[in-house]
Amino acid sequence: MDDLPDLWQRTWTYLTMDEPRAGLHPIPGTKPVTIDALLLPPLMYYVALLFLPPPPPQAVDTVVLRLLRTALALAAGLLFFRLPLAYYIPQSIGLNYQLSLVGLYGGCRVLDAFFISPFIFGHIPRRVRYEHVPRSDAAASKDSREPTSIKQRVGYADSSTTPTTWDRKPSLPLDNYWPTGASDAANTAMDALYRTWSGPTMQPVHQHETPEDGFPHTFYDRASWALELELSMRGMGFTLTTADVKHTRVTWLPTISNRLHSIFVHVLPAMAVCLAIIRYAYDNHLGPAGDPPPFEGPSRFNTRLSLPLQLLLTAALGAFLMLAFSLAHSMFAIMCAPIAPSPFAFFPPLYTIPIWQITSVRKFWSYGWHRLFARLFLVYGVWPGEWVEKKLTGRRPDQRADLGKVIGGFLSSAFVHSFSVRSVLAGDWVKARGEAHFFVLNGVAVVLEEGVRRAVISRRKKADTPLEMWYDGWIGRAWWVTVLLMSGRNFARGWVDAGLVREMAGR
């Protein structure tokens, strides 16, 4: 008990310290973040959202309130953008990185909601009402109206149970390999092991969505509307929902037991393995402990790690990020469960297919990775890229512009992530270029693989051979894993130089 006051004192000292922790290199001229700097942007954004939808009530449709709304939105956007440019979080390199993401994302979201969507596209988000009709697993598996490729995109990738294979089917006929009477025991044991690993199944439902026929009619309803829109990163519950949120009406609702099982059986053990690899790499090659990586000179990632160790560390960092997002996703789903079935409580999958079903770089970024920034990349990357390609090629507005879409999306992602890591690299754009290289290289890989795919299909058509071969999937898997790991070294190098790897190793 005597240690409690001392623990509290150390905790308070840590939370209020102004000196950057060892290894953190904030942008010169920035200062420790304050509570008011953190709270003002989202509060001003929320108040502005109260007056965004058109009337009724007529009280919101006045010149004064429209000017107030615009002023608040502009101020909120500027304060969001200012967060990473004027402040830093001394206690943590990782939190400082996230502060940049929050500031950039928040500012872009405000501009989208108040200026880009209303004035360029004439769209103010409407709320969507969800109805979840229970269905049986048998009915789900027999639903012939849904294509198989779409069915495989539904569900939670952090659960080993997929929507189309609820019942375990042994890959080998056990009766042929076990003594008489032993096969039943073996099957029972394997079933028990499988159920332990898979955990409670999610609730199978048909999801029906109905956009509201109007906007909020009362200030109380507006308050709810504004809060839901501010907290909905992917537009869940609104008509601006990005395509990644759902791919079919046949879906699964998470349960508390399912999410808890995912956390304790899948996520936390895998995160422990990733952290063990990260700590091993740091303590044995990038350290020693307590010695922050030098800010100047060649990167220790290049000079101290062999290529296999670089790839291993890159894979561990990528897997840890995926697991961390899954952990946060499950925790929010559990916390919001009491208010189901509102959009707050229904959390669509972050990763819409299991990792082993990914067979291309494009499929990885479309379905295998989280899409929390999908709206940002759509508005500030994909749409401008399409517009530029159509202008340069003279295509009509209704024609496709896939090249511009891909390049625009990856360029916007490159800027967002480089801007964020720059905040912990003393504002040095050159040192932050690794993350930009990573996303640009992946954009090029998507374009190349699409060109190769079309050439192969064309050749097979001319040769009158099957369009799909048994080895296509394996070549695709080897391709995307190679691309992600080799290009991901640029990402990992920046994290080593920024001190993020040291912090993750607990040093």
| CB-CB contact of 479 with 449 (8 Å) | yes
Does a structural domain hold residue 225? no
Residues 390 and 326 in one domain: yes
Domain-embedded: residue 223: no
Residues counted in the chain? 507
Angle between helix 472-498 and 402-422 (nearest 10): 30
Q: Would residue 341 count as lying in a domain?
A: yes
pLDDT value, residue 21 = 82
461 domain-assigned = yes
41 shares its domain with 143? no
The per-residue pLDDT for range 41-78, each reduced to its tens digit, is 999 999 999 999 998 888 888 899 999 999 999 999 99
Q: Look at residue 212 and tell me if it is in a domain.
A: no
Buried b (16+ CB within 10 A) or exposed e, 99-129: bbbbbbbbbbbbbbbbebbeeeeeebbbbbe
User: Do both 266 and 120 map to the same domain?
Assistant: no
- Domain shared by 137 and 286, yes or no: no
Cβ–Cβ < 8 Å for 281, 500: no
pTM of the full predicted structure?
A: 0.83
> Is residue 25 classed as helix, strand or coil in its secondary structure?
strand
Strand partners, 25: 425
199 and 139 in one domain?
yes
Q: Based on the domain organization, do 408 and 430 belong to the same domain?
A: yes
Instruction: Kindly list the distances between the CA atom of residue 59 and the CA atoms of 63, 226, 449, in Å, as whole numbers in the listed order.
Output: 10, 17, 55
Q: How far apart are CA 412 and CA 383, in angstroms?
A: 11
Residue 138 has pLDDT above 60, yes or no: no
How do residues 74-119 score in pLDDT, each as one tens digit?
A: 999 999 999 999 999 998 999 999 999 999 999 999 999 999 999 9
82 & 138 share domain: no
506 φψ region: left (φ > 0), alpha (ψ -120 to 50), beta (else): left
- For residues 164 and 147, the answer to whether their CB atoms sit within 8 Å is no
Residue 120 within any structural domain of the chain: yes
The reply to whether 57 and 151 lie within a common domain is no
Q: What pLDDT shows up at residue 214?
A: 85
Structure tokens at 313: 């560390």
Do both 97 and 187 map to the same domain?
no
Integer Cα distance of 429 and 27 in angstroms = 11
Q: How many domains does the chain have?
A: 3
Residues 380 and 433 in one domain: yes
How many helices (H) and strands (E) would you count in the chain? 19, 5
Q: Hey, what amino acid is at 457?
A: I
Q: Which of 124, 149, 170 is the last residue of a domain?
A: 124
Q: What is the mean pLDDT of residues 483-496?
A: 95
Rank 66-75, 187-196, 242-251, 286-295 by mean pLDDT and report only the highest.
66-75
Question: 3-class DSSP state for residue 51?
Answer: coil
How far, in Å, CA of 420 to CA of 434, rounded? Answer: 12
Residue at which a domain ends, from 81, 96, 124: 124
Shared-domain flag, residues 438 and 315: yes
> What range defines the domain where residue 186 resides?
131-205
Q: Are 404 and 387 within 8 A, CB to CB? A: yes
What's the CA gap between 354 and 452, in Å, rounded?
A: 24
Q: What confidence score (pLDDT) does residue 146 get?
A: 38
Domain annotation covers residue 116: yes
Question: Has residue 42 been placed in a domain?
Answer: yes
Q: What pLDDT score does 99 carry?
A: 95
Indicate left, alpha or beta for 464 from its phi (over 0: left) and psi (-120 to 50: alpha): left
| 404 and 439 fall within a common domain | yes
Strands 203-211 and 128-134: antiparallel
DSSP assignment of 469-483 equals -TTHHHHHHHHHHHH
